Chain A
Amino acid sequence: MALLSVENVAKRFGGLSALEAVSLSVNAGEVYGLIGPNGAGKTTLFNCMTGLYTVSDGAIRLDGVPIQNRKPHVIVGRGFARTFQNIRQFANMTALENVMVGRHVRTRTGVLGAVLRDRRSRAEEQVIRDRSRELMEFVGLKNRGRTLAGHLAYGDQRRLEIARALATDPKLLALDEPVAGMNPNERREMGELFLKLRASGITLLLIEHDVKLVMGVCDRVAVLDYGKKIAEGVPDEVRRDPAVIEAYLGGAPS
């Protein structure tokens, strides 16, 4: 069974149809790419999946359970985390604290525990801290924990967003243009991080403009254009699909 299945999802903003009957399914363990020209509806679809937008029609299931129109934090709790196209850190908190916020959904201590500081809530706090440090190390940000998130280098901020999303223990991690604005060297390193993530058992959903990166790391790819899915398959197939070529280049040579 597919880990994530999107079934006939439509999203309309007033009279504007941003997504029309989009269906796709992401299998557990794969790296799935979502590509398409600017304005194709990729981020809209992301926002529908993660609970930021309500869908106008259709269903989205995670592990068979419908998640469309649920609150974002509930969807995160089900194991679906995301990063953002334009970096959105808690800039005034330290890098480590950013990651620790991600642990929120997997931990319990409420007002009472925080005030009383009993043994259990102190132990939990320590576990949160240790796990967050591990994740910082995993994404390649060892020893950067005390830096304010807003002061990290651009590429490191992207890594931090991934660490923060990983802190929620996702089964499925959705990355919205994770290499935007990076140089080729940084892109290659990010590609390696994606493969490392897959190896650790996390399914990846990747929105990306960089076709080379997508073709290099993705197992399967779907192409959106004007709110519709126009192709889906393994990268090599999709690359040769006339509809895809037309969408990107505006008409195949005759």
Chain B
Amino acid sequence: MDIFVQQLVNGLVLGSIYALVALGYTMVYGILELINFAHGEVTMIGAMVALAVIVPLLGAGLPVALVLLLAILAAVAACMALGYTIERIAYRPLRRAPRLAPLITAIGVSIVLQNAAMLIWGRGYISFPPILPEGAHQILGAVVTDLQMVIVGLSVLIMIGLTFLVERTRLGRAMRATAQSREVAELMGVNVNTVISATFIIGSALAAIAGIMVSAYYGLAHYYMGFMLGLKAFSAAVLGGIGNLAGAMLGGLLLGVIEALGAGYIGDLTGGFLGSNYQDVFAFMVLIMVLVFRPSGLLGERVAQRA
């Protein structure tokens, strides 16, 4: 029972990070029907930039809170610029091309970013300095750390904010209109290119935060970390129903929980044959099952209607 609650907590933490990244995939898909496979790499760049700010500034003796704030700002700003640039050079020129073409440039961008990160920051693991509070609390038999609470709390706040942005503001309305029909939105005076850029910028800002969360949670960053994170978040977006914001949030949380519970019990289930290092299997099993049994995802009906 304790393991169950503990893995549930771990799963929710992991899941809220997946949800933030999945939102980036789903927003872009909703508007362009494009899978931005470079999105995982944007989270990696976010983590790397944050660490590139944290390490030297800590060395210079600045207070921890200030260092963290600056790191977050730098990572978010860098990823926003990166997201905008990716759309501008890799996707916009191919807007009228067959759908496979931007998929290939997406993979290309992803390889370029990984290699650029490897050249800049090296091949090794970069450790996240132990600057975060390490308090832990007992809740229902599970240990919950301060960091875990911050990750879940911040993710929830961001998701509420994003929902509000999309449902209640002028920009959000333009995004929804563009998602339903780019042509009509344009003929009603919406500058579709601006809306698309804004979508990439917002998604990339979320990715930056998620990247920092992951590196803080696992205590390290690596030029390759975006690949698996991106694939899992994409699976989460598909699970929830790609193109649907609430679906990405739900899919992310569910996937995190499934993965954590799977990792917790896989040893018992297979009689010790498989260990928790097989936890990645679960995300992709879920992806395959969704694609086979419910391709539109859990909340995907509206998307199916729209398409």
Contact = CB atoms under 8 A, between A and B. Distances in A.
Given A73-B186, A76-B188, A125 B169 contact: yes
Given A88-B184, A93-B177, A73 B190 contact: yes
Interface residues on A, range: 35 or more
A19 B187 CA distance: 21
A107 interface: yes
Contacts of B181: 88, 90
A145 interface: no
Contacts of B184: 84, 88, 90
Interface stretch (A96-104, A221-229, A238-246): A96-104
Interface stretch (A9-17, A23-31, A110-118): A110-118
Q: Which secondary structure characterizes the binding site on chain A?
A: helix
Contacts of B96: none
B171 A111 contact: yes
Contacts of B161: 115
Contacts of B174: 101, 104
Contacts of A124: 170
A31 B305 CA distance: 38
Contacts of B202: 111
A92 B305 CA distance: 9
A80 to B, nearest CB: 10
Q: Which secondary structure characterizes the binding site on chain B?
A: helix
Contacts of B176: 90, 92-93, 97
B201 to A, nearest CB: 7
A102 B189 contact: yes
A93 B190 contact: no
B185 A52 contact: no
A111 B201 contact: yes
Contact of A114 (B169, B185, B302): B169
Interface of A: 50-52, 71-73, 76-77, 81-82, 84, 88, 90-93, 97, 100-107, 109-111, 114-115, 121, 124-125, 128, 164-165, 167-168
Interface of B: 161, 165, 168-174, 176-177, 180-181, 183-192, 198, 201-202, 302, 305-306
24 contacts: A52-B183, A71-B191, A73-B186, A73-B192, A76-B187, A77-B189, A84-B184, A90-B180, A91-B180, A92-B180, A93-B173, A97-B173, A100-B170, A100-B173, A101-B173, A103-B170, A104-B173, A104-B190, A111-B171, A111-B198, A114-B172, A121-B169, A125-B169, A125-B170
